Amino acid sequence: MQTDPFTGRPTCIQGGRLPSDEDRRALQHDHRRRLEALARLSAAAEKVGIGTDPDDSLVLWDADEVGLLAAADPLWHELHEAAAAFRELLPIVSLEDFGFPEHVEDLLAECGPRLRPISSGVEATAFEAQDHSIYKFFMPRESGRIGGTFAFRRGEEVALLADAADGSYRAMLEKFDLIVRLDGMPTEVIGVTKNEGVLITKQTLGSLLSEGADTSGVQPAALIPIPSRFLRAHRDHPRLYFVDGTPWLVADLHSKNLVRAVDGQLRAIDLLAAPFPAELVAKEPLLTDWLERARLDPKAALLRPVHDDEL
């Protein structure tokens, strides 16, 4: 494993070369550990009365900020320990580490010679490094929200409606975990900037698909089509995926969010996702039944089969 040219930390990503199976497993493990550490930090913060929504203040928190209180009370000690553990998995970095000037205002226009601008979208600005690795800089909004997620509501003609909504740092980390779970492009979380709250990732290079290419037939194999009577999403190709038994909506895998890797396989580089809302699902018996069956059999029919002796 080599070191990242900007941070000096270990990395398994370099240009378009795919990491080994062992490195991929380690990368997936890192994503899960990071989410577990954030959950621990959120739980500790709630116990001392600190709000966790939006979660920008937690993600940008320096463990030393509560160091003096850690020795005075067990709850503050746990918060201090949780913050330190999370910071190990999501280090603080600076934009200057990547060649941007101090107080940069326009990432695309003011990048240094070691990064080549590729694209800028609603969520992130992407660059290609000299070794051809892809670095993405996700900018937060003034509200503290970052990235995207889904907000669910009950529908009249369908069980659930899923609208795109502002996300959170947790939602972003969950997305990167999902990309790797779905055998998408290897994605590392490099760190977050203290002052700006910019979340930075590193991803393997792939070849772009043609503009507007139809990807309905090349979605990741693990994704399950959702019957139209159960859900309508305001994003392309809504699918079901189970994360450790919990149903998630995964969508937006259009031609700009899939690339072809060096091994010839199409792999996701971005998506939009959120867990199905348990409270709303519980109010829809048919949906609840289908989700239970789909978890065991991805090809489960819309309705449970009825045997002749039940008629």
Query: Residue 20's CB: how many other CB atoms inside 10 A?
Result: 11
CA distance 235 to 149: 11
Instruction: Tell me what the mean pLDDT of segment 276-299 comes to.
Output: 97
Closest CA to 221 of 205, 207, 241: 241
Task: State the pLDDT confidence band at 73, using cuts at 50, 70 and 90.
Answer: confident
Task: State the pLDDT confidence band at 306, using cuts at 50, 70 and 90.
Answer: low
Query: Residue 43's CB: how many other CB atoms inside 10 A?
Result: 13
What confidence score (pLDDT) does residue 213 get?
96
Instruction: Tell me what the mean pLDDT of segment 64-81 comes to.
Output: 84
CA distance 42 to 63: 13
What confidence score (pLDDT) does residue 309 get?
58
Contact indicator for 36, 210 with CB cutoff of 8 Å: no
pLDDT 10s digits, 229-283 = 999 999 999 999 999 999 999 999 999 999 999 999 999 999 999 999 999 999 9
What confidence score (pLDDT) does residue 64 get?
79
**How do beta strands 258-260 and 246-251 pair?**
unpaired
Task: State the pLDDT confidence band at 115, using cuts at 50, 70 and 90.
Answer: very high
What confidence score (pLDDT) does residue 310 get?
55
Q: What is the mean pLDDT of the chain?
A: 94
Q: Which residue is listed with tokens 């949906």?
A: 287
pTM beyond 0.85: the answer is: yes
CA distance 270 to 175: 8
CA distance 141 to 143: 5
Helices then strands, counting H and E runs in the chain, come out as: 7, 18
What confidence score (pLDDT) does residue 108 get?
85
Task: State the pLDDT confidence band at 57, using cuts at 50, 70 and 90.
Answer: confident
Q: Could you tell me which residues are beta bridge partners of residue 96?
A: none
Q: Which residue has the higher pLDDT, 47 or 67?
A: 47
Q: Which residue is listed with tokens 């934009």?
A: 95
What confidence score (pLDDT) does residue 184 get?
98
- Burial code (b: 16+ CB inside 10 Å, e: under 16) for 114-135 equals ebeeeeeeebbbbbebeeebbb
Q: Which residue has the higher pLDDT, 179 or 58?
A: 179
Q: Is the pLDDT of residue 66 over 90?
A: no
pLDDT 10s digits, 80-92 = 999 999 999 999 9
Q: Could you tell me which residues are beta bridge partners of residue 125?
A: 120, 137
Instruction: Tell me what the mean pLDDT of segment 38-66 comes to.
Output: 88
What is the residue-wise DSSP string for 206-265?
-EEPPTT---TTSS-TT-EE--TTTEEESSSS-EEEEETTEEEEEE---TTSEEE-TTS-
What confidence score (pLDDT) does residue 71 get?
79
Q: Is the pLDDT of residue 9 over 80?
A: yes
